[in-house]
Amino acid sequence: MKIVDAEVLVCRPGRNFVTLRLTTDDGLTGLGDATLNGRELAVVSYLRDHVAPLLTGRDPHRIEDTWQYLYRGAYWRRGPVTMAAVAAVDVALWDIKAKVAGLPLYQLLGGASRDRLLAYGHANGRDIPELFDSVRARLAEGYRAIRVQTGIPGLNAVYGVHPPGDAAARDPHQRARPLVEDWDTAAYLRHTPTVFEAVRNEFGAELPLLHDVHHRLTPIQAARLGRDLEPYRLFWLEDCTPAENQEALRLVRSATTTPLAVGEVFNSVHDYQGLITEQLIDYVRSAVTHFGGVTPLRKLLDLAALHQIKSAVHGPEDISPVGMAAALHLDLAVHNFGIQEFSGYSAATHDVFRHAFTFTDGYLHPGEEAGIGVELDDALAAGHPYERAYLPVNRLHDGTVHDW
Ligand code: KDG
Ligand code: MG
């Protein structure tokens, strides 16, 4: 069997997605997600100009060899553009292999370790009443674990807080020029524990609550926040410091028992090494899409399992249904599954990416179709052409650019 075609498809059913489709001489196809939010076309070029010419003629069954060939063979290793491109190839090859076997991908990864996958959704509000409404809406949708983000008095726009209304229109990730959010660490540190106190009082002690700091604190500030949140028993505190400085997590870890989740911007096991072997974190957040695919993420999760660290695969709206499906197959198979982020998709995205995975009563399942269980409808995708869109940027009150 040989790969005869490698197409890179870009569409925008509400937001931009990049998809790789590999076709074999037997007429089988495999899909991989290569979406890198705000920098999509860099990955398109990497795939079209540099990777696709290497794929035609290769045996699609040689997944590990193809991964090593693209990773080591490029000489220039790691980085989100490279690893998103390699991930798309890897997932498309797994999709093909599982279709040849006539099995859902999770069966090739060892079979199901559980029946269903706990998901968490996003609740947000500019103030506490609006946040409570949002939590109630997620509970009504079936979610059993919820990420909580709120506005901060005195700040206009902060991470994760969207005004109510149509999902595509309100999404701050989808602006033709970057939205400028503002930030005040002291105000955030004062306000956030009061938010969690209010949420616990309203929704009780048992609901798993998560919170994303989005890399905004210094180690000592993160240590303070972790301690102040201990009474509210968070499921986790995510990305409390800029993730590339592993030393920071050592200080935070020694100061608080609030569980820590890290890694959505990581793209290689080398970014994690000390964090895992020294057990400085509790959850790894890497996406299949940005970590080089199922092949390396499986290895990372096996290393994490040795240190009682669990999976929490990144799954915001900018991971396409193809990347989500790949994550769900891996989640179902690994023993150390923790939780899966899932914030849903626009109706147009569901139409363009017909998928077998399901969300029922707060749990996800990848479905039983052979492969990863996603097909892209080219005709519908053509009706949603690419438009440039940026993530926000973040500034302090004096105008200084801050971590986003
Ligand atoms: O592209 C950036 C988003 O994926 C990111 O802001 C989402 O932090 C995020 C999360 O935890 O889902
Ligand atoms: Mg995050």
Phi, psi of 320 (to 5 degrees): -70, 165
pLDDT tens across 247-266, in order?
Answer: 999 999 999 999 999 999 99
Considering the domain delimited by 3-104, tell me its CATH architecture.
Answer: 2-Layer Sandwich (3.30)
Catalytic residue check, 214: yes
Which position among 71, 106, 159, 188 bears the catalytic label?
A: 159
Using the predicted structure, report yes or no on whether residue 175 has a pLDDT greater than 80: no
Domain ranges of the chain: 3-104, 108-371
The pLDDT of residue 173: 65
Short-list 324, 308, 307, CA closest to 316: 324
Structure tokens, 331: 């989640």
Say if CB 371 and CB 99 are below 8 A apart: yes
Using the predicted structure, report yes or no on whether residue 179 has a pLDDT greater than 90: no
Task: Give the three-state DSSP class for 3.
Answer: strand
pLDDT tens across 103-113, in order?
Answer: 999 999 999 99
For ligand 1, atom 1, the nearest C-alpha belongs to 37
Percent of the chain with pLDDT over 70: 97
Which residues' Cβ are closer than 6 Å to ligand 1?
37, 212, 214, 264, 314, 316, 318, 341, 391
Supply the pTM of this predicted model: 0.96
Give the span between the Cα atoms of 259 and 277, in whole angstroms.
Answer: 16
pLDDT tens across 117-147, in order?
Answer: 999 999 999 999 999 999 999 999 999 999 9
For ligand 1, atom 12, the nearest C-alpha belongs to 316
pLDDT tens across 347-378, in order?
Answer: 999 999 999 999 999 999 999 999 999 999 99
Ligand of minimum distance to the alpha carbon of 243: 2
Please check whether the two domains, 3-104 and 108-371, share a CATH topology: no
pLDDT tens across 203-224, in order?
Answer: 999 999 999 999 999 999 999 9
Ligand of minimum distance to the alpha carbon of 319: 1
Give the span between the Cα atoms of 78 and 27, in whole angstroms.
Answer: 32
For ligand 1, atom 7, the nearest C-alpha belongs to 316
The pLDDT of residue 162: 73
CATH number for 108-371 (one of 3.40.50.1000, 2.60.40.1260, 3.20.20.120, 3.40.50.10420): it is 3.20.20.120
Give the span between the Cα atoms of 149 and 213, in whole angstroms.
Answer: 9
The pLDDT of residue 111: 98
Say if CB 288 and CB 323 are below 8 A apart: yes
Ligand 2 centre from 263 Cα, in Å? 8
Q: How far is CA 78 from CA 71, 294, 345, 400, in A?
A: 8, 15, 29, 29
Range with lowest mean pLDDT among 54-68, 243-257, 279-293: 243-257
Catalytic residue check, 71: no
Using the predicted structure, report yes or no on whether residue 174 has a pLDDT greater than 90: no
Give the span between the Cα atoms of 243 and 138, in whole angstroms.
Answer: 29
Give the span between the Cα atoms of 185 and 154, in whole angstroms.
Answer: 12
The pLDDT of residue 206: 98
Which position among 211, 214, 314, 329 bears the catalytic label?
A: 214
Give the span between the Cα atoms of 349 and 358, in whole angstroms.
Answer: 14
**How far is residue 210 CA from its own chain's centroid?**
15
Structure tokens, 346: 């626009």
Structure tokens, 246: 């592993």
Residue with tokens 């959704």: 121
Task: Give the three-state DSSP class for 202.
Answer: helix
Q: How far is CA 379 from CA 5, 352, 353, 384, in A?
A: 19, 8, 11, 10
Give the span between the Cα atoms of 311 and 326, in whole angstroms.
Answer: 14
Task: Give the three-state DSSP class for 60.
Answer: coil
The pLDDT of residue 163: 65
Residue to probe by mutation, ligand 1, list 120, 264, 313, most atoms within 8 Å of CB: 264
Name the average pLDDT for the chain: 96
Using the predicted structure, report yes or no on whether residue 241 has a pLDDT greater than 80: yes
Task: Give the three-state DSSP class for 27.
Answer: coil
